[in-house]
A and B are shown apart, each in its own frame.
Chain A
C-alpha cells in the first residue's frame, strides 16, 4: 500500500506544494509589504468601515421593522451572557473559598494536599 502511495501523482503534487509552500508564502508576503498594497488595503479598509456603518444603520432599521434582532443587539446579548458567566465564575470562586474556610473550622478530614518538599535537582555546571 505504501509503495502504491509513492506513485500516486496527486500525493506527489500535494507533497511538492507542502515543501514549496514557504517560498510562495514569502513571495506573497513581499507583495503585501509593498506600499501600493498598503495603499489599496488602507483605502479598502476605510471604505469597508464606512459601508459597515451605513449598512449597519440601514439594516438595523429594516430588521427592527421585521421584528428581528440586529447584529449589534446579538453582540449585546453575547456580552450580557459573558457577564453572567463571569458572575457565575465569581460565585464559584467564593464558594470554593467558603468550602475551604468551613473545612478548616470543622474537624472534617482535610482534602489531601501534596507537600511542597520536593528537592530541586543540582544546577547544571
Chain B
C-alpha cells in the first residue's frame, strides 16, 4: 500500500462537479440552521416507522406475531399481547422513538408481543370474524404462552382488534387471558349511524359487492372512513401549512398520513360479518352473534377489564362503544375517556402524557 498521497489533478474536476459540491454544502448549512428547512424524506415510504427492535416468532399468510426485545433488565411476569385492527397496520403503536406505545411499555418493564395482520389474498375471502377472533387470535395467544413460558397474558386490542379480543375472551373465558384492555372498541352497531343508514337502505347491496370483489380493496375502506368526516383531511393539510416551519410537526404529520392511507383490504366474509351481523343487525348487543357455534356474550368476560375511549372519536363514536363497560361481566373493570380522536388516542402527543401512564399503571398492577 502506497502511503504517499497522490497529487490531485485539478483539471480532472469539472466546473459542474465543483458547483454541485458547493451547492450541496450551502444547502446542508442552511438546513442545519433554519427551522422548516430540515432534510425531510422525499416520500412518506422513506419515513422510518416501527422502530423498536423486534423478532418474528410466528407467521402465517394472514398474520405476523412479533416479540419486541425487552429494554429493562427486570420485567413483569405477565406479557402483553397487542392486537391490531385487521384493517390497519401495527406500526401506529410503534410510530417512532418517543412516540411509541410499544417503546413506552418496554421502558416501563413490560414484555411486549404484537399481532400485525397481513394483506389478505383472494384465497382468504372466506375468512370471517370467527376465523380472526377464534382461530388466528387463539393461535397467536398459544404462541405467546409458549414463547414467554408464562401461563397467562394481558390482551390489549385497538379498535377492531379490541372487538376481536373481547369476542375471543367472551367465548374462551377460561383461556390464558389474565387481563383485557380494549381501546375504542365498537360494540353497538346502532351507534355507527352513517354505516347503519347505508346498510339498511334497500339500494345498497353489500352482498353483491362482496361476491363480485371477494376481497374489499383498501381504497373502498378509506373512502367509507373518510365519509365519516369528509373534510378532516383538508383541515389536516391546512394545519400542515400553518406549521410548515416546525420540522417535528411536519414529520409527525407525514407519519400519520402514511399510516392513514396504508389500510389493509377486508376479506369479503369478514366484511359481511361486520357490516351485516354487527352493524346492520346489531347482533352483539342482542346476544345473537355466534363465533365457533357459541353465542358471544360479553358478560362471560370475568377477567380485569379496561376500556379506553376517545371523546372526539368519529370512527368509533361514543354511541357505539359506551355500552362495552356495562356489558362486560368483570368485577374489576374501569373505563377511561380521554380527550382526543381515534388515532391521537394511541399515538398523538397527548397520549404520551394522558393515557400511557394510566395504561401502564393499570397493566403493571395486574402483571405479577
Partner of A96, one of B55, B72, B119, B204: B55
Complex interface: chain B residues within 8 A of A40 (CB): 203
B194, A114: Cβ atoms closer than 8 Å: no
Contacts A114-B72, A118-B74 known; A79 to B121 CB distance under 8 Å?
yes
Query: What is the CA–CA distance of A38 and B198 in the complex, to the nearest angstrom?
Result: 6
B74, A115: Cβ atoms closer than 8 Å: yes
Complex interface: chain B residues within 8 A of A29 (CB): 194, 227-230
B230, A93: Cβ atoms closer than 8 Å: no
Partner of A116, one of B55, B77, B194, B365: B77
Complex interface: chain B residues within 8 A of A14 (CB): 238-239, 241-242
> Of all chain A residues, which has the CB nearest B212?
A49
Q: B74, B119, B235: which has the most chain A beta carbons within 10 Å? A: B235
Contacts A39-B203, A82-B121 known; A96 to B57 CB distance under 8 Å?
yes
| A 82-120 binary contact with B (CB < 8 Å = 1; else 0) | 110010011011001000000000000000011111111
Contacts A89-B59, A121-B365 known; A33 to B232 CB distance under 8 Å?
no
User: Number of contact residues on B: which range applies?
Assistant: 35 or more
Q: Which of A2-46 contact B (CB under 8 A)?
A: 11, 14-15, 17-18, 21-22, 24-25, 28-29, 32-33, 35, 38-43, 45-46
B104 at the interface (CB under 8 A from A): no
Q: Which of B123-173 contact A (CB under 8 A)?
A: 123, 150
- Secondary structure call for the A interface: helix
Contacts A14-B238, A25-B229, A79-B122 known; A33 to B208 CB distance under 8 Å?
no
Q: Which 8 A-B pairs have the closest CB atoms?
A: A42-B203, A38-B201, A89-B59, A21-B235, A86-B61, A14-B238, A39-B203, A120-B368
Since A29-B229, A121-B361 are in contact, a sample of 19 more A-B pairs with Cβ atoms closer than 8 Å, ordered by chain A residue number, is A14-B241, A18-B239, A25-B229, A35-B197, A41-B204, A45-B204, A45-B205, A46-B208, A52-B212, A53-B212, A82-B121, A83-B61, A96-B56, A114-B70, A114-B74, A118-B75, A120-B76, A120-B364, A123-B365
> What is the interface of chain B, defined by CB distance below 8 A to chain A?
55-61, 64, 70, 72-77, 109, 111, 118-119, 121-123, 150, 193-194, 197-198, 201-205, 208-209, 212-213, 227-232, 234-235, 238-239, 241-242, 361, 364-368
What are 26 residue pairs bridging A and B, where the CB atoms are less than 8 Å apart in the complex?
A11-B242, A18-B235, A18-B242, A21-B231, A21-B232, A22-B229, A32-B227, A33-B194, A35-B201, A42-B204, A46-B205, A52-B212, A82-B118, A82-B119, A83-B61, A89-B56, A89-B59, A89-B64, A114-B70, A114-B74, A115-B73, A115-B75, A117-B74, A118-B72, A120-B366, A121-B365
